[in-house]
Amino acid sequence: MILGVDLGTTNSTVGYFNEDHWELIPNEYNEFLTPSVVCIENNGEYIVGKIAKEKIITSPKNTFYNFKRTMGTDRRYSCNGKDYSSEELSAILLRYLICQAERYLNQKVDEIIVTVPAYFDDKQRIATKNAGRLTNVKIERLINEPSAAALAYHHKNGNDGYYMIFDFGGGTLDISIVDVFMNVIDVQSITGDNNLGGVDIDNMIVDHFIKQFPNLRSINKDELSRLRSIAEQTKIKLSDVDEYELVFVYKNDIYRFKYDIQTLANICKDVLLRIKELITRVLKDAQIDTIDLTAIIGIGGSSKMLMIKQYLEMITHKPFIIDIDPQNAVAIGATIATAIKTRNNTVKNIILTDVCPFSLGVGIINDEYSVIIAKNSSLPCSQTSLYTTIQDDQSKIKFVIYQGDDYQASMNKELARIIINVPPLPKGEANVSLKFSYDINGILNVEAVSEIAQRNKTIITNNMLDEETIDKKRKELDQLINNTFYYPEANYLLERAKVMYQDVPINVREHLGHAIIQFERVLNNGKATTILRNCKSFSKYLDYIALSDFHVTIYDDYDDNYEDSSDDEDDKLLS
């Protein structure tokens, strides 16, 4: 069995191709989206997903998120005396997703195709492959997220034309221009920002809110996490309502500020200007104008924001289309890619091309940048350039390999350094050829050969982990225990209640604390049917507190018989 995996910054999704159609695989909550959050408990158990997301507030030191942003770096996350890399945390998340899929399908998963941001560089792509290898499943193919989304849209409607794929997720922004014609999905150009996403908008709302109330400048990290979570909800709500009031409880005082879309746009002015710059660049690279576009296709959770839709339509004068759930589009495309790989008759005639997002080359004299593979070259590709000595009797040539598009070599991202021995000859007579090969996954290999001696061949494999290291890290991860709950919904409700306990005023807190204790008692001692019934009523109780903005009549019991409101009234509150 081969799976398609959208390994997202904020949420992750997994799917498979079932004979002639794609299917997404639900987790234990019967939800397709799994929060990309990992919590490692003090006893060595790990929790992934929905409950782990609540642990960001209740157990922040042991809980990790947004680690996709640090893939391919030396960043380490410390917990319980151990350090974890982004690859290892991603591997834990992948293991969870694969485990959920195997339970759902009742068969073993042998291979996965994983999506990555189009603007992921060489080291980030290799780190993603390393994460896959740590799960002990085969991972040969990486697909750019916008390309996967284009595949999903083409599979649904089959319309030809030029499309801008606007992939705005929780942590990254990718923009691609795609030419679709006769079952060929041809990526023309890519640009993006690996450090621009929905979380940045959340942070901007937090900063703005704190500026309104000087008393909040002293809040600690835990309280800041709570405020960030509320800011995220404010951002989401402003796509459904004209105005939304952010309410934050701190030291039993309630702080309120009303936000509307215009206020949000003013707060996020720098983000919108950055988006405009990237759109200008990607159109220029594709050598087209907005008039040539058929439409803009929005994917990624942050593209659902009404502010984003209105802004893009204003600057491009093209329709912004979301006719596939933007949070599922990439996973659907990855799933279709699995069918293409296995030559499924339903999709075997579809051809997906991709391009490299960065230029690749070396630094030469006077810090000039000698490009060997140009940005937006079709993948896979291979190019060779010849370099010569600049001094008499020079015995070595040092190459610094860069990735980027600045004319000054040192301003680009350094990937590797190599030194090649050459015969000591008069300057200009000893040569070295550099062959850059960029594979279908966007990963670079470099071959250097001394032309005269025909020796000193060097292959650069960057930081791909060797099998011994993979085995060692895999065994370390095996020591962690997968915390599989018998009643996942009950445990989620308990974590949610603990988070709410910190948010509500003191008069509500006493009653909520009592309810939490009662619910814990049921979880520890109740029978299955009793637990399930209490989950339903406890969930209703928590929803009532949240929807009523803490101004509620407090119920000492939360069984199925309490009458807090009619179903019709609940519908009004939710609308």
Together in a domain, 501 and 419: no
State residue 309's pLDDT score: 93
Query: What is the arithmetic mean of pLDDT over 512-528?
Result: 78
Distances (CA, A) of 318 to 301, 311, 313, 331: 20, 11, 5, 25
Q: E-assigned strands of 275-326?
A: 295-299, 320-321
Domain final position from 461, 480, 510? 461
Per-residue confidence (pLDDT) for residue 457, from 0 to 100 = 58
Query: Closest Cα partner for 4 from 442, 351, 336?
Result: 336
Q: Quick one: tokens of 97?
A: 């997703």
- Residue 235, pLDDT > 70, answer yes
* Residue from 78, 136, 46, 112 nearest 470 by CA: 136
Query: Do 14 and 47 belong together in one domain?
Result: yes
Q: Which two tokens stand for residue 299?
A: 């994917």
Look at residues 410, 442, 461 and tell me which one is the last residue of a structural domain.
461
> pLDDT over 90 for what percent of the chain?
42
Helix 506-525 with 528-547: angle, nearest 10 deg: 170
Nearest to 530, CA basis, from 495, 560, 492? 560
DSSP annotation of 322 reads: -
Residues 369 and 337 in one domain: no
What CATH number does residue 409 fall under? 2.60.34.10
Residue 103 pLDDT level (bands cut at 50, 70, 90) = very high
pLDDT of residue 569: 35
Residue with the larger pLDDT of the pair 459 and 206: 206
Phi, psi (rounded to 5 degrees) for 441:
-90, 0
DSSP designation for 330: H
> pLDDT per residue over 236-286, tens digit each?
999 889 999 999 988 878 899 999 999 999 999 999 999 999 999 999 999
* pLDDT at residue 479, rounded to an integer: 63
- CB contact at 8 A, 25 and 104: yes
Shared domain for 378 and 434, answered yes or no, is: yes
**425 in the same domain as 347:** no
- Asked if pLDDT for residue 554 goes beyond 60, the answer is no
Give 376 or 466, the one with higher predicted confidence.
376
Please tell me the predicted confidence (pLDDT) of residue 564: 37
272 in a structural domain: no
Residue 432 pairs in a beta bridge with 387, 450
Domain identity same for 527 and 425: no
Is 422 in the same domain as 527? no
Instruction: Note whether residue 559 is domain-resident.
Output: yes
* In a shared domain, residues 10 and 59: yes
Which pLDDT band, with edges at 50, 70 and 90, does 353 fall under? confident
Q: Give the position of tokens 């195709």.
A: 113
Q: Residue 421 domain-assigned?
A: yes
Q: Measure the CA–CA gap between 82 and 80, rounded to whole angstroms.
A: 6
**pLDDT over 90 at 300, yes or no:** no
Within 7-77, residue ranges assigned H as helices are 50-58
Same domain for 549 and 448? no
Look at residue 451 and tell me if it is in a domain: yes
- Residue 243 in any domain: the answer is no
Instruction: State the CATH number of the domain containing residue 27.
Output: 3.30.420.40
- Residues 503, 523 within the same domain: yes
532 pLDDT more than 80: no
Give Cα separations from 100 to 161, 246, 339 (angstroms): 38, 36, 20
Residue 463: pLDDT over 60:
no
- For 425, the domain range is 360-461
Q: For 120-147, how does the pLDDT look when each residue is reduced to its tens digit (9 = 90+)?
A: 888 899 999 999 888 888 888 999 988 8
Asked whether residue 180 is domain-assigned, the answer is no
Total structural domains within the chain: 3
pLDDT > 60? residue 565: no
Mean pLDDT of the region 381-393: 90
Per-residue model confidence as pLDDT tens digits over 313-340: 999 999 999 888 888 999 999 999 999 9
237 domain residue, yes or no: no
C-alpha span between 9 and 171 (Å, rounded) = 6
**DSSP conformational letter for 159:** -
| Among candidate residues 174, 112, 161, the one with its CA nearest the CA of residue 329 | 174
Residues 420 and 333 in one domain: no
Q: What is the largest CA-CA distance in the chain?
A: 95
Both 549 and 442 in one domain: the answer is: no
CA-derived radius of gyration, the chain: 26
Instruction: Quote the distance between the C-alpha of residue 402 and its chain's center.
Output: 25
Task: Give strand pairing partners of 85.
Answer: 76
285, 327 contact by CB (below 8 A): no
- In this predicted structure, what is the pLDDT of residue 307? 94
Name the more confident of 449 and 37.
37
Give CA–CA dist 482/245, Å, rounded. Answer: 39
**Any domain includes 535:** yes
- Residue-wise DSSP of 384-409: EEEEE-SSTTEEEEEEEEEES--SBG
Letter string b/e over residues 104-121, b meaning 16 or more CB atoms within 10 A of that residue's CB = eeeeebebbbbbbbbbbb
Strand order of the sheet with strand 184-193? 320-321, 295-299, 161-168, 173-181, 184-193, 351-353
Distance in angstroms between the alpha carbons of the first and the last residue of the chain: 41
| pLDDT score recorded for residue 480 | 62
For 194-280, list the strands marked E by DSSP: 243-250, 253-260
Burial class (CB in 10 A: 0-12, 13-18, 19+), 93: buried
**Mean pLDDT in the chain?**
85
